[in-house]
Amino acid sequence: MRDLRWIAGMAMVVCLAATPLRAGDGAVSMENWYRLILELVRHTPTYSPPVAARAFAYTGIIAHEAQVGGPGPGVTLAGQLHELTAPPARDPAATYDEGVVVNAAMTAAVRTYFSNTGPTGQRAMDAMEKALAGQMAEGVDPAVLARSLAYGEAVAAHVIAWSATDGGAVVENLGFPYEYELTPGPAHWVPTSTVAVQQFPLLPDWGKTRTFAMPEATTCRLPPPPEYSEDPGSQFYKEAKEVYDTVRSLTPEQAAIARFWSDDPMLSSTPPGHWIFVAATELKLEGADAPRWALVMARLGIAVADSFIGCWHDKYEYDLVRPVTYIQRVIDPKWQPILITPPFPEYPSGHSTQSGAAAVVLATDFGADHAFIDTTHGDEGMDPRPFASFEEAAQNAGISRLYGGIHFRSAIELGLEQGRCIGAFAAALRMSE
């Protein structure tokens, strides 16, 4: 069964590369736009994981809201997400083309949330817009076409205006502050590389961003990490020693797991993009229609975006030192992790938090025992990995950070817990009749 699903998963990649554009099929619009935005995230430096998650959330919300009131069962998120008011209503007496509506909304969303991309990305967006707009308009009555375009764009504009006030709309200097005061003391984060722009930590105020479904950034706040200590008998030392010993005796399988979930910004579609890819694969496999695509992508986007807000709040509250810093100072000055240590505080693990949340919402939409084959990094030459459930995958993502030498166990296990807590709010959203 798994083998067959893997073949289907790989076929999806090929299929997306040459998806035949069928007039009026909003699902085709969504498939293709999502394929493109995963590339734009990979190739645009703005998209650190929190920023990418935010862009995924709003894009999914726009796609969902544009289809509410159409023939699908969608229920608006207005009133359910913080400060989101009702989008423009459809004219109940008028006819709309759903493919045109969702494509117009997606086009506006991508143009807004992925506008920081460079000339090649802009060129690709132009090409995608031209191809999809032409195909979606094929055979559509001109009046219906105009009305549908206007409606999709109006819904997008409504959500875009709402998003502008969340505190995360402007990202400067790739997310690194120009000035910052490091917290003194050995327990706290210090730069872990000699990359000049990373001498200050990434997005220290991201925890102040407005949440989507989670009530507050602190709603799923974690307890403090183990108390900092250099005493070999302390819990902190033991966790550091575990990272040290694990990396020194890493098995090939553990190394492969670490690299599979590495999801480095600017070298991949980032951790939230990893889950978006998984969701896209499963939607394609089931032949989902456009409303289903939008529901899944909106809920998943909300879950991972809220995760980064909650996680980032705690990261900067506790401001914990990274394993590489502690281990080189206390245990072995020559030790190196196998992954690039991210340039921000350690606790909790962001990938763990957002993976925990992603697993919750994907289980909601696909089933708790939904097995899948993860082919996210096939084009990077990595083998696909099968999982019996999204939760199993989330745990795999979490422990990968220990194998990679960039997180202590507490950050992983509690990060997953935090994600489950945050994801529950997105899972509870009422999005369809």
Partner 1 sequence: MRPLVLAAALLAPAAAHADTPPVPVFADETAASGLTHTFAGEWTFMVGGGAAVFDCSGDLMPEVFLAGGTAPAQLFLNRSTPGGALAFAPAPDRGLDIDAVSGAWPLDVDGDGITDLALLRVGPDRLMRGLGDCRFRDASAEWGFDGLDFWSTAFAATWLPGGDWPVLAVGTYIDRMQEAFPWGNCTPNQLYYPAPGGGYQAPVALTPGFCALSILFTDWNRSGAVSLRVSNDREYYKGGQEQLWHVPADGGAPALYTEAEGWSRLRIWGMGIAQADVTGDGFPDYYLTSMADNKFQVLADPGAEGGPKPRYADQAFKRGITAHRPHAGSDLRPSTAWHAEFSDVNLDGLVDLFVVKGNVWDMPDFAQQDPNNLLLQGADGVFTEGSVAAGVASFAQGRGGAAVDLNADGMPDLIAVNRNAPSEVWRNTGGPGIGNWLSLRLSMPAGNRDAIGAIVELRPEGGVLQTREIVVGGGHGGGHLGWQGFGLGAAAAAEVRVIWPGGAAGPWQGLTAGRHWLLTPGAAPAEVSP
20 binds partner 1 (CB under 8 A): no
End-to-end CA distance of the chain: 32
379 binds partner 1 (CB under 8 A): yes
Report the residue number, 173 or 249, with the smaller CB distance to partner 1.
173
HSE-up (13 A, CA, CB side) for residue 45: 8
Contact 207, 184 (CB under 8 A): no
Closest CA to 98 of 281, 300, 294, 283: 294
381 binds partner 1 (CB under 8 A): yes
355 binds partner 1 (CB under 8 A): no
Q: Which range of residues in 35-43, 88-96, 237-245, 283-291 is near partner 1 by CB under 8 A?
A: 35-43
**Which residue of 85, 95, 120, 165 would you call a contact of partner 1, by CB under 8 A?**
120
Segment (H or E) for 372: strand 372-374
180 binds partner 1 (CB under 8 A): yes
83 binds partner 1 (CB under 8 A): no
Q: Which range of residues in 190-198, 234-242, 316-324, 361-369 is near partner 1 by CB under 8 A?
A: 190-198
Q: Which range of residues in 68-76, 78-86, 114-122, 396-404 is near partner 1 by CB under 8 A?
A: 114-122
**Which residue of 19, 80, 116, 229 would you call a contact of partner 1, by CB under 8 A?**
116
**Which residue of 27, 36, 297, 411 would you call a contact of partner 1, by CB under 8 A?**
36
Contact 206, 314 (CB under 8 A): no
164 binds partner 1 (CB under 8 A): no
Report the residue number, 194 or 249, with the smaller CB distance to partner 1.
194
Question: To the nearest 10°, the Cα dihedral for 268, 270, 275, 280?
Answer: -50
C-alpha–C-alpha distance, residues 143 and 417, integer Å: 51
CB-based burial label for 111 (10 Å; 0-12, 13-18, 19+): middle
Minimal distance in Å, beta carbon 128 to partner 1? 6
327 binds partner 1 (CB under 8 A): no
Contact 68, 76 (CB under 8 A): yes
266 binds partner 1 (CB under 8 A): yes
333 binds partner 1 (CB under 8 A): no
Locate all alpha helices (DSSP H) within 342-389, ordered by sequence. Answer: 350-366
Q: Which range of residues in 33-41, 95-103, 320-328, 399-407 is near partner 1 by CB under 8 A?
A: 33-41
HSE-up (13 A, CA, CB side) for residue 367: 8
15 binds partner 1 (CB under 8 A): no
Maximum Cα interatomic distance, the chain, rounded to a whole number of Å: 75
- Residue given tokens 């080189």 in the structure block: 328
C-alpha–C-alpha distance, residues 166 and 212, integer Å: 9
CA distances from 224 to 117, 120, 236 (A): 38, 44, 12
Report the residue number, 185 or 232, with the smaller CB distance to partner 1.
185
Under the rule (CB under 8 A), what is the footprint of partner 1? 17, 35-36, 39, 42-46, 115-116, 118-120, 122-124, 127-128, 131, 172-174, 178-184, 194-197, 199-200, 266-267, 379-381
